[in-house]
Each structure stands twice: as structure tokens, then as C-alpha cells.
Amino acid sequence: MSTETVEKEPASKIDLGPEVAGGEIPTFDITLKVRRYNPEVSDEAHWDEWQLTMYGTDRVLDALHKVKWEHDGSVSFRRSCAHGVCGSDAMRINGRNRLACKTLLKDLDTSKPILVEPIKGLPVEKDLIVDMEPFFQSYREIMPFLITKGHEPTKERLQSAEERDRYDDTTKCILCAACTSSCPVFWTDGQYFGPAAIVNAHRFIFDSRDDAGDMRLEILNDKEGVWRCRTTFNCSEACPRGIQVTKAISEVKQAILTRKV
């Protein structure tokens, strides 16, 4: 399986020691290389490079902002909240899928150029913007909403702390597509549901209040469903929320097996 061997990033180069007084933030120079693509100009993608002076508290997103606001306004990327919650700015930074707003520049190797590419496996629209529609199409298919049977309770639907804990990990998903676009199976076969859809199905399958678990398991028992997972763990490594994605997929496999066998 083509799991990418990614060199472990060296530890932080710039140490913000106690001698740094308030307001004093060390600066350093970086080279930012961004994969550019504009179908209105050329069918070929190319790399653009900028030398920037950045601060120890800056993130990759700040470097992209600096480029867009001060150097080249045509650089295109998505970002909404810029604080690791909305999941808009997943991109491939130094060969690894991460959120630009959660990746501090000082944690990367600043002696080498920092490479920023769009996430793989989805059609690139412009620069770092990809078409997320196939991703959301899979997400919609697993019915990511509460489905219940019987009478509606007069008050809230009760759930014990243990029952809530069962699917706690998969509630953290922010739909950034870092996992799905790091999956080598998804790269070659876009029909695969992908880790994100399975994680969000897991969130409802193991919810004690939900009654449509069987329907979701049946959907994921498809030939493009959970059985395409090769447990390469790329998704677990890529997840910016630290969700144990491969574990969640295995639990869904187990659930299908115990229901059928």
C-alpha cells in the first residue's frame, strides 16, 4: 500500500524561553512555496515562492494571509474561523494533511522551504481550493442526523454518561476532509465512502438514542464501504482533532459482522 513515509518534523527551532518579555516576539525568515493552479490561465499547476519574515507565534495561515494581503492577492485558499473549528483550511503542508490555522511555523523546519499544496484526491478548482462536493455527497449518504422511532418523549431523550462516552471520539469531527484526502484508497477510487463519512456514521450508529443504525450499517456494507479500508492509519495521523479514525472504521466493521454473522 502506498503509505507515505513522512519524515518526522524536527522539534521546534525557535524556543520561546522565559527571557522573552511580553510583547517581544522573535522573528525569523521563511520560504513559503505554494502550489498554484488557475484553469483560466493554464492547465498546468506550478509552484510560487515567497520569502517572508514571520513571528514565533505565527501559523501557516498567517503566512498565507501575508502573501495574499501584501504580495499576491490572487492566491486563493479557504478559511473561515481561522481557529481550528470550522475545518475550511485543511491543506497538505510539507506532505502532511493539516489545518493551516493550527500549524505553527516554528514547529516546521524553517531552514527549508515550507510546501503548501491542496489536499489530494479531490478536483482542484483554484490554487488551494478543491471541490468538496464528492466529499459531502458521501457524508449526506450516511444520513448524519438523528432518526428515531416511536413516541417522542415529552422532555429530552435521556442518555447515560457511559452511553454518551461510547461515540464521544467521533463527535469531534469538523468535516475538514484531511482524513479522506489522505487515504490512498480514496486517491485511486473516488467512489470509496472515505474515512470521514464512516466516522460520522459511527457517531450515530453507536448513539443509544438513534434507531437507524442498521440502515447506516447496510449503506456502509457496500463494495465501496468499510471493506475498502486497508488500515493504513493515514486518516488517524491526518486528523487535526485527534480522532482515532481507523479504530472507528474497525468498530463499524465489527458492528456489520456481528449483525450479519
Partner 1 sequence: MATPTIDSPRSGRVSPGYSRTSSSRGNFEMIAWLFMRLSGAILVVLIFVHLYINLVAGDGITGIDFGFVAGKWADPFWQVWDLTLLWLSMLHGTNGIRVIINDYADKNSTRMWLKGVLYTATVVIVVLGTLVIFTFDPCPVIDGVAHVADYCPAP
Footprint of partner 1 on this chain (CB under 8 A)? 1, 123, 131, 133-134, 137, 184-185, 188-191, 218, 221-225, 227-228, 230, 253, 256-257, 260-261
CB of 125 to partner 1, least distance (A): 11
CB-nearer residue toward partner 1: 108 or 249: 249
CB of 191 to partner 1, least distance (A): 5
Q: What are phi and psi of 104, to 5 degrees?
A: -75, 135
- Grid cell 511580553 is found at 22
d(CA 89, CA 83): 10
d(CA 178, CA 61): 16
Check if the beta carbon of residue 128 is closer than 8 Å to that of residue 36. no
CB-nearer residue toward partner 1: 140 or 164: 140
CB of 126 to partner 1, least distance (A): 15
d(CA 30, CA 32): 6
CB-nearer residue toward partner 1: 48 or 222: 222
Number of helices and strands in the chain (H, E): 8, 7
CB of 170 to partner 1, least distance (A): 21
Residue 252's Cβ-count burial label (10 Å; 0-12, 13-18, 19+) is buried
CB-nearer residue toward partner 1: 107 or 224: 224
CB of 227 to partner 1, least distance (A): 4
**Distance spanning both ends of the chain, measured CA to CA:** 29
CB-nearer residue toward partner 1: 99 or 220: 220
CB of 119 to partner 1, least distance (A): 14
CB-nearer residue toward partner 1: 1 or 161: 1
Check if the beta carbon of residue 181 is closer than 8 Å to that of residue 235. no
